[in-house]
Structure 1
Amino acid sequence: MGDYMVRATAANAQVRAFAVTTKELVETARQAHNTSPVVTAALGRLLTAGVMMGSMLKGDDDLLTLQVRGDGPVRGLTVTANAKGEVKGYATVPDVILPANAKGKLDVGGAVGRGTLSVIRDLGLKEPYVGQTALVTGEIGDDLTSYFATSEQTPSSVGLGVLMEKTNTVRCAGGFIIQLMPFAEEETISKLEHNLSLINSVTALLDQGMTPEQLLERVLDGLDVEITDRMPCSFTCNCSKERVEKALISIGKKELQEMIDEDKPIEVNCHFCGKTYKFDVDELKKMEKKSR
């Protein structure tokens, strides 16, 4: 089965939960951007979180953007997701190579460094909702857990994992988000904290072949889990030659004329999926006529 997400409640709706498997979409991103193993892990974790957080959006046209800006060598990560399980993203510097961290694992925190995490929700209003928090570790999961607690006042636990093969392809990827509702009882909170304390590594659970359902059963053991929804998810970019053309028209007559004067075709790359669009001089002239 391909990548998919499950949504659930537990303990009579005192807890809401999300879990997802994302091996294929993270591998698609790796191939699109030719990312190094540590960047694949960093971007893969953010893509995984993006899928789950995107599903929290209400409207079909709503968009979620996660931006990580750090002083580490990767410099930044950007992920955009919608409510339909579609996600895309890229790293500012995709080819960072770092030695393993003290635990012998990919040093995502070292690649990202210190900085900020921004969560932008575009709900079709005049201004998008923007929440921002300082990066705690740069490991992504910890940073999102902190974001939910500080910016949204929602006690949460975010577990994310990406494991690489020796061939640098993605072996497994996925994760979970667990959130307590305001009316959660102490007994429920204690049980959840106990369950989470037994989980050392999301990656290890994924590598055992655990499905999203089994991840939630482990995390929410004894809390009467009820799966409410299943949804396929994928790395999907909605770029097209038409959209790129509109963007070029919007830059104005002067800039387009300068491109025409060079008398050479131009290439435009999509940041999110790496696809290249070519425009010859005649196409540029038609765009110049359409621009203001």
Structure 2
Amino acid sequence: MPVDAPSEPPLIPSDDVVVAFRMQNSNIRGRLVRLGATLDQIVAPHGMPDLAGRALSEALALAALCGSALPQGGNLNLLTRTDGVVSILVADFTASGRLRGYARYDGAKLQAFTQNATRADIASALGNGALAITLDAGPGEERYQGVLAFENAPLSGTVAAYFQQRENLPTFIRSAVAEQYVGSRRDPQPGTRWHRRAGGLMVQSLDSSADDDGRDDDWKRVELLAATVEDHELLDPGLTVERLLLRLFHEEAVAVERIIPLSAFCRCSREKVENVLLAFGAAELSDMLDDNGQISVTCEFCTKRYVFSLDELRKTGS
């Protein structure tokens, strides 16, 4: 009787991926995200200053970490509104692994802040404000939004506090962003340059409180292990996900549950922008004309520019 060959473990990409895993010895789940080329595709077109780019990169990594728990068809939106020099961050994640995002900031104030601040990090750039996480589990499911205030706090810590306070789930999150030079510094080849990278680790106990079975001890142990992760480990594509999980949790019997490839996307289209413009009256459209007699609209997410003439809009609307 033939014997089936043992199935090989799934191949985990080194980059642009979320890996969901569980501890087989406890009721604890986790996710690890690595972002490379996909991050460049989202952030680079905006041409934003370094600090704003790092803030958006972290927001995208956190959106992928949190949103990857949703079922297929779900969506997570992470939004910050603050009084800082980076006043708005938006990161969208769809459960199929697609990401988009943008940041709003005052360029002059951000430059002055970076030059004068002794600690020009993301938390100080955001300042005081609120974090809103909107969860949409998919068609037929009710959308849910939770809002949490924060003051000069790390973004990853604020997201973890959201789950602890709003969902009553013990949560640990660490994220990291950096730039990596691709190519030789001595003999650079065409196309070699600095590439933005982001990574993150999230572990979460599905037991909302301690009990007599020692599950609270499980959480304390795993949280301590997770806290030993270093930024370079989260960011280095040369360190495989399998090796990193083994390094952190080798006694916890980690099992990979899902592998979600990540990619950039945008929902904008010429037709959608045109429909928005057609909702305005003739006088309002005339006020939107530039010096060339055209109406230009730039998508905040992907920076794609759409140009329309009044005659074109009149013809479509008639």
Looking at structure 2, the residues matched to 144 and 181 of structure 1 have their Cα atoms a distance apart, in angstroms, of 17
The aligned residue for residue 270 of structure 1 is: 299
The number of residues matched between the two structures is 285
The aligned residue for residue 174 of structure 1 is: 199
- One-letter code aligned to 1:107: D
Say which of 242, 259, 274 aligns to 1:230. 259
The aligned residue for residue 42 of structure 2 is: 29
Looking at structure 2, the residues matched to 142 and 136 of structure 1 have their Cα atoms a distance apart, in angstroms, of 11
Do structure 1's residue 110 and structure 2's residue 140 form an aligned pair?
A: no
Distance change >3 Å, CA 19–CA 251, structure 1 → 2: farther
- Written as runs of structure 1 = structure 2, the 5 A alignment for 1:75-90 is 75-90=87-102
- One-letter code aligned to 1:188: D
The question of whether the paired residues in 2 share the 8 Å contact of 1:65 and 1:81 is answered with yes
The aligned residue for residue 70 of structure 1 is: 82
The aligned residue for residue 220 of structure 1 is: 249
The question of whether the paired residues in 2 share the 8 Å contact of 1:36 and 1:94 is answered with no
- One-letter code aligned to 1:154: L
Looking at structure 2, the residues matched to 100 and 21 of structure 1 have their Cα atoms a distance apart, in angstroms, of 32
- What's the TM-score, normalizing by structure 2? 0.79
Looking at structure 2, the residues matched to 236 and 176 of structure 1 have their Cα atoms a distance apart, in angstroms, of 23
How far is 1:124 from its partner? Answer: 4.5
Distance change >3 Å, CA 100–CA 42, structure 1 → 2: farther
The question of whether the paired residues in 2 share the 8 Å contact of 1:72 and 1:111 is answered with yes
The aligned residue for residue 150 of structure 1 is: 165
Aligned with 1:274: secondary structure?
Answer: coil
- One-letter code aligned to 2:239: M
Distance change >3 Å, CA 153–CA 3, structure 1 → 2: same
Aligned with 2:77: secondary structure?
Answer: strand
How far is 1:113 from its partner? Answer: 0.7
| 32-41 vs 5-14, which moves further | 5-14
Distance change >3 Å, CA 287–CA 255, structure 1 → 2: farther
| 185-194 vs 113-122, which moves further | 185-194
Distance change >3 Å, CA 129–CA 251, structure 1 → 2: farther
Distance change >3 Å, CA 125–CA 73, structure 1 → 2: farther
Unaligned 5+ residue runs, structure 1? none
How far is 1:165 from its partner? Answer: 4.5
The question of whether the paired residues in 1 share the 8 Å contact of 2:17 and 2:259 is answered with yes
The question of whether the paired residues in 2 share the 8 Å contact of 1:64 and 1:81 is answered with yes
The question of whether the paired residues in 2 share the 8 Å contact of 1:260 and 1:284 is answered with no
Looking at structure 2, the residues matched to 13 and 249 of structure 1 have their Cα atoms a distance apart, in angstroms, of 56
Q: Deviations over 1:154-199 (max 9, x none)?
A: 1111111111248983353211211111178133113213213423
Aligned with 1:75: secondary structure?
Answer: strand
The aligned residue for residue 18 of structure 1 is: 31
How far is 1:89 from its partner? Answer: 0.5
The question of whether the paired residues in 2 share the 8 Å contact of 1:253 and 1:288 is answered with no
Q: Deviations over 1:180-221 (max 9, x none)?
A: 11178133113213213423x334542483333334334433
The aligned residue for residue 54 of structure 2 is: 41
Q: Deviations over 1:240-292 (max 9, x none)?
A: 11121122223456534655899821111001111101112222112432xxx
Question: RMSD across aligned C-alpha pairs, in angstroms?
Answer: 2.9
Aligned with 1:153: secondary structure?
Answer: coil
The question of whether the paired residues in 1 share the 8 Å contact of 2:132 and 2:147 is answered with yes
% identity of equivalent residues: 29
Distance change >3 Å, CA 249–CA 57, structure 1 → 2: farther
How far is 1:94 from its partner? Answer: 7.2
Looking at structure 1, the residues matched to 160 and 290 of structure 2 have their Cα atoms a distance apart, in angstroms, of 52
Which of 1 and 2 has greater Rg? 2
Aligned with 1:135: secondary structure?
Answer: strand
Looking at structure 2, the residues matched to 72 and 168 of structure 1 have their Cα atoms a distance apart, in angstroms, of 30
Aligned with 1:92: secondary structure?
Answer: strand
Looking at structure 1, the residues matched to 216 and 117 of structure 2 have their Cα atoms a distance apart, in angstroms, of 36
- One-letter code aligned to 1:280: S
The question of whether the paired residues in 2 share the 8 Å contact of 1:136 and 1:146 is answered with no
Distance change >3 Å, CA 13–CA 244, structure 1 → 2: farther
The aligned residue for residue 193 of structure 1 is: 223
- One-letter code aligned to 1:172: R
Aligned with 2:293: secondary structure?
Answer: coil
- What's the TM-score, normalizing by structure 1? 0.86
- One-letter code aligned to 2:18: M
